[in-house]
Amino acid sequence: MKPKPQRLLEFTRQFSFMIDQGIRIRDCFEILCLGEKDLDFKKVLDQVRQDVEDQGTENLSSALDRHPVIFDKLYVEVIRGGITGGILDLSLHSILMYLEKRDAVGRKLSLTLVHLSTLILLIATTAATNALIVISHLRLAPTKMTLGTPSHFFSSWWALLIVIPIFFITVTYYFCRSSKGKKRLDRILLKNSVFGRYSRQMSVIRVCRPLSILLRYHVPITQSLVVAARSSGDPEIEKAINESRADDFSFGDVFKSPVFPPLVAHCVREGELYGLPDQSLAKLADFYEMDVYESLSRVSLRCQTASIYFGAFTLIQLSLILFDLL
């Protein structure tokens, strides 16, 4: 069972701190096992500790690679590069920075979606309240009957009104989690002028940040591109990266595809020219992360403001209706 992203972040933070303090890798996992409360994650850590004891600390990446559900290829390759170069502490700092930034953007996105959902719910409530007022004024149905005594339709089919929304929500949820549903959802989001921009920027971040870290620790370019393509979460970007990998390809040619913004291709080309592609990719990831974070903050603030107005308006309308009934 895959743990929450926050759990992996906490593990990496603790592991990085203990390595900085000079604690041996085997002792680090022993301490982490003693303090772990998640039983499934504790079993994984204990297995990694046993593998390190049996095979040696130089095989830590291989021990982590046996648990791909928790430790993805990016995590494993960066750890392998850090152990090979004798800079495990720096590699853990890089992974920790990556996980912290990903967690910050993810939290901001979740908060924005909550505010947006609240706004939609308040708009629907306001529309229903207005419809109730119109019906009562047109005398199509008495207000007291509408609010107090349920009609024959609602008393006969109330269960169906509950089952149908739950059915559609469940089907939509599992369809969006399937591979076909993800591709269809990606196409819809990318065609949208608002969500398409955020979705594409998030995909570019998930390519540039892992790729910069992998190149920094001398992971082969071809292998780095494979890991970065899988990390993107965008089928079009993954397809563009895989198609650009040929026998004689140039690193800058990978980002010439129209699925990438022109800024990405230009900065990567300049970084490759000066022999610093990892730094160019890191700066691109920082730029797009800041842009997405500020954009989500603006959207979240507007949704909060609109929710306050719609909520106040709905409360006033409901108060007037109840006052009229009394």
The C-alpha atoms of residue 48 and residue 54 are separated, in whole angstroms, by 10
Query: What value does the mean pLDDT take over residues 14-20?
Result: 89
Q: Highest mean pLDDT: which of 108-112, 288-292, 320-324?
A: 288-292
pLDDT value, residue 323: 66
pLDDT value, residue 146: 44
What is the 3 state secondary structure string of 148-165?
Answer: CCCCHHHHHHHHHHHHHH
So what's the architecture of 5-99 in CATH? Answer: Up-down Bundle (1.20)
Contact at 8 Å (CB) between 33 and 27? no
The C-alpha atoms of residue 271 and residue 277 are separated, in whole angstroms, by 4
pLDDT-derived band at 245, boundaries 50, 70, 90: low
The domain ranges of the chain are 5-99, 104-149+188-326
pLDDT value, residue 148: 44
Helices in 178-276 by DSSP H: which ranges?
A: 179-191, 195-216, 221-232, 235-244, 262-273
Residue 153 has pLDDT above 80, yes or no: no
pLDDT value, residue 154: 46
pLDDT in tens, 200-223: 777 788 888 888 888 888 778 777
